[in-house]
């Protein structure tokens, strides 16, 4: 990709100058030119002329709407050694994201209007992508008393997604109250579905591998029981439930049943649960320790099928950066989680597009349209075709579908390196990301 930069690149917020993207393929379709004028996608068509615009030769690159991640741990405030809003959003931009939802399990917990506004402001200042804070459901993630959901919703951060992620809201009465409460402002409760008593001291998926290793396992039923219970509650109160990081075939079946009832239940799956299996834990390499745990090949297959047919609505990274002292230790002491922002799109291409389970428009829906709908982002971004029409907000990612790259954790923008893909060759490379018409990434590098 060559580029001719004759306009200021870093304009003030929301003003990107004029960019003429030559030869892009929107949603993988026929090549056209695309003109970004300030924050707006102004024109699409063959051989556009745009005097004064910066021309980017994007021949053959696929244009997708800016990706949206419903599940990112940015670790600020509190664990800036593992990640900051600035470093995490740089990683997001490099991965093609224009919005990330920042999980609430920070220190202090994002359970007040003050903390969510702080995270939102840090995102604005960094400017690499939009940061939408997730508010905690319960005070301190303790699962005992509801947090100030209304105050977070009406704060400058305008919180719509609430989650105790990392912990399950296991008390059924509290869960019911939370679902009822957020109905007033069309919020959603994102549940980390893990029945706590069934998973005490659990180390990996309960199955053949855990039996062989003699480690306490994490039964699929511990996830499925909570999803079934919460789907029933969401149906009963008519509110919105979102299920975080679904990991079992049984969960997919329960979601299919809940949706068939017309209940407002949505779900996400992570790239790692779409690819990796529990036999990797036999290496005792804590890079494979994650919550929920890696499951079996049959689960992976069911998750891919569920994502393809829409039973699972979207891909979310669960980007979970950890400092070396928390991760590079013995298995039982290591924190669960993997970084994912910079590899998510490539893994999704590998597991969904290359085998023909999703086309580019389908992938765009699972990584941009659906998370926009669930997270309550502006109407125009909820439909991926509409998001790439003239008049839309110019949130665009350009990716090279033919490129392959080798994962080098030391080249990550993230402060953490806990990726299971080090040294692995992956398909598809983000070349450029535009946030409201302003490039945040050009030539695969942060602007």
Q: Catalytic positions, please? A: 318
Q: 120-139 mask for ligand DOR (x: CB under 6 A)?
A: --------------------
CA angle 99, 101, 104 (to 5 degrees): 155
272 binds Zn ion (CB under 5 A): no
Residue 71: CB minimum distance to ligand DOR, A: 9
Q: Which helix (H) or strand (E) holds 222?
A: helix 220-237
117 binds Zn ion (CB under 5 A): no
Q: Is 59 in contact with 31 (CB distance < 8 Å)?
A: yes
Q: Which stretch binds ligand DOR (CB under 6 A): 111-119, 146-154, 335-343, 348-356?
A: 335-343
111 binds ligand DOR (CB under 6 A): no
Residue 376 interacts with, from Zn ion, ligand DOR, none (CB under 5-8 Å by kind): none
Toward ligand DOR, which CB reaches closer, 89 or 105?
105
Residue 62: CB minimum distance to ligand DOR, A: 30
Q: Which stretch binds ligand DOR (CB under 6 A): 3-11, 307-315, 331-339, 399-407?
A: 331-339
Q: Which stretch binds ligand DOR (CB under 6 A): 131-139, 152-160, 333-341, 367-375?
A: 333-341
Q: In what order do the strands lie in the sheet with 161-162?
A: 161-162, 188-191, 241-243, 265-269, 314-315
337 binds ligand DOR (CB under 6 A): yes
The three-class DSSP label of residue 21 is strand
Beta-carbon contacts of residue 117 (< 8 Å; ≥ 6 apart): 155, 156, 157
CB atoms within 10 A of CB 383: 17
Token pair 């008390």 is at which residue?
A: 171
Q: Is 435 in contact with 66 (CB distance < 8 Å)?
A: yes
The three-class DSSP label of residue 405 is strand
Q: Which helix (H) or strand (E) holds 359?
A: none
Q: Which stretch binds ligand DOR (CB under 6 A): 144-152, 330-338, 344-352, 372-380?
A: 330-338
Which ranges of 238-367 does DSSP label H, i.e. alpha helix? Answer: 249-260, 297-309, 324-327, 344-348, 360-364
166 binds ligand DOR (CB under 6 A): yes
76 binds ligand DOR (CB under 6 A): no
Q: Which helix (H) or strand (E) holds 119?
A: helix 113-126
d(CA 42, CA 393): 9
205 binds ligand DOR (CB under 6 A): no
DSSP string across 120-144: HHHHHHH-SSEEEEPBPSBGGG-SS
Toward ligand DOR, which CB reaches closer, 69 or 165?
165
271 binds ligand DOR (CB under 6 A): no
Residue 447: CB minimum distance to ligand DOR, A: 29
Q: Which of residues 151-180 bind Zn ion (CB under 5 A)?
A: 165
Find, among 406, 398, 312, 400, the residue nearest to 357 by Cα: 312
d(CA 23, CA 19): 13
Residue 165: CB minimum distance to ligand DOR, A: 5
Q: 188-207 mask for Zn ion (x: CB under 5 A)?
A: ----x---------------
Beta-carbon contacts of residue 190 (< 8 Å; ≥ 6 apart): 70, 71, 134, 161, 162, 163, 165, 242, 243, 244
Q: 276-305 mask for ligand DOR (x: CB under 6 A)?
A: --------------xx--------------
Toward Zn ion, which CB reaches closer, 165 or 400?
165
CB atoms within 10 A of CB 311: 23
Residue 327: CB minimum distance to ligand DOR, A: 10
77 binds ligand DOR (CB under 6 A): no
d(CA 105, CA 119): 12
Toward ligand DOR, which CB reaches closer, 258 or 290?
290
Residue 320: CB minimum distance to ligand DOR, A: 4
105 binds ligand DOR (CB under 6 A): yes
73 binds ligand DOR (CB under 6 A): yes
Toward Zn ion, which CB reaches closer, 67 or 244?
244
Number of residues that bind ligand DOR (CB under 6 A): 12
Q: Which stretch binds ligand DOR (CB under 6 A): 177-185, 226-234, 329-337, 427-435?
A: 329-337
CA angle 230, 234, 239 (to 5 degrees): 140
Residue numbers of the site for Zn ion (CB under 5 A)? 165, 192, 244
Residue numbers of the site for ligand DOR (CB under 6 A)? 73, 105, 165-166, 192, 290-291, 318, 320, 335-337
């Amino acid at each position: 990709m060559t580029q001719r930069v004759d306009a200021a690149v870093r304009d003030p917020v929301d003003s990107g100058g004029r960019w003429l993207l030559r030869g892009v393929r929107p949603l993988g379709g026929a090549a056209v030119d695309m003109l970004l004028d300030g924050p707006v996608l102004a024109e699409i068509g063959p051989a556009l002329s745009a005097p004064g615009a910066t021309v980017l030769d994007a021949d053959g690159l696929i244009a997708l709407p800016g990706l949206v991640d419903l599940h990112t741990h940015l670790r600020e405030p509190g664990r800036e050694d593992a990640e900051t809003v600035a470093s995490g959003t740089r990683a997001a931009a490099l991965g093609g994201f224009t919005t990330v939802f920042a999980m609430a399990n920070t220190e202090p917990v994002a359970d007040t209007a003050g903390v969510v506004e702080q995270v939102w402001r840090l995102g604005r200042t960094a400017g690499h992508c939009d940061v939408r804070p997730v508010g905690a459901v319960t005070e301190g993630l303790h699962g005992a008393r509801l947090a100030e959901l209304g105050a977070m919703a009406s704060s400058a951060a305008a919180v719509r997604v609430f989650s105790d992620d990392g912990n399950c809201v296991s008390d059924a009465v509290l869960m019911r109250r939370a679902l009822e409460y957020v109905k007033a402002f069309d919020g959603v409760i994102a549940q980390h579905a893990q029945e706590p008593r069934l998973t005490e001291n659990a180390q990996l998926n309960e199955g053949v591998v855990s039996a062989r290793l003699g480690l306490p396992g994490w039964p699929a039923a511990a996830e499925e029981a909570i999803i079934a219970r919460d789907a029933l509650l969401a149906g009963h109160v008519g509110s919105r439930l979102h299920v975080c990081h679904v990991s079992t075939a049984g969960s997919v079946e329960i979601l299919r049943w809940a949706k068939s009832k017309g209940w407002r239940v949505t779900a996400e799956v992570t790239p790692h649960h779409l690819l990796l299996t529990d036999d990797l834990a036999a290496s005792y390499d804590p890079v494979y320790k994650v919550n929920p745990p890696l499951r079996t090949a049959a689960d992976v297959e069911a998750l891919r099928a569920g994502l393809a047919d829409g039973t699972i609505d979207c891909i979310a990274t669960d980007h979970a950066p950890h400092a070396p002292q928390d991760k590079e230790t013995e298995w039982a002491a290591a924190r669960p989680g993997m970084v994912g922002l910079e590899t998510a799109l490539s893994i999704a291409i590998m597991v969904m597009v290359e085998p023909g389970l999703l086309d580019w428009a389908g992938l765009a829906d699972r990584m941009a349209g659906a998370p926009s709908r669930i997270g309550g982002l502006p109407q125009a971004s909820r439909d991926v075709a509409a998001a790439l029409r003239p008049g839309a907000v110019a949130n665009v990612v350009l990716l090279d579908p033919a490129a392959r790259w080798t994962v080098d954790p030391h080249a990550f923008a993230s402060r953490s390196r806990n990726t299971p893909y080090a040294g692995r060759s992956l398909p598809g490379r983000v070349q450029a990301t535009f946030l409201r018409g302003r490039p945040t990434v050009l030539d695969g590098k942060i602007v």
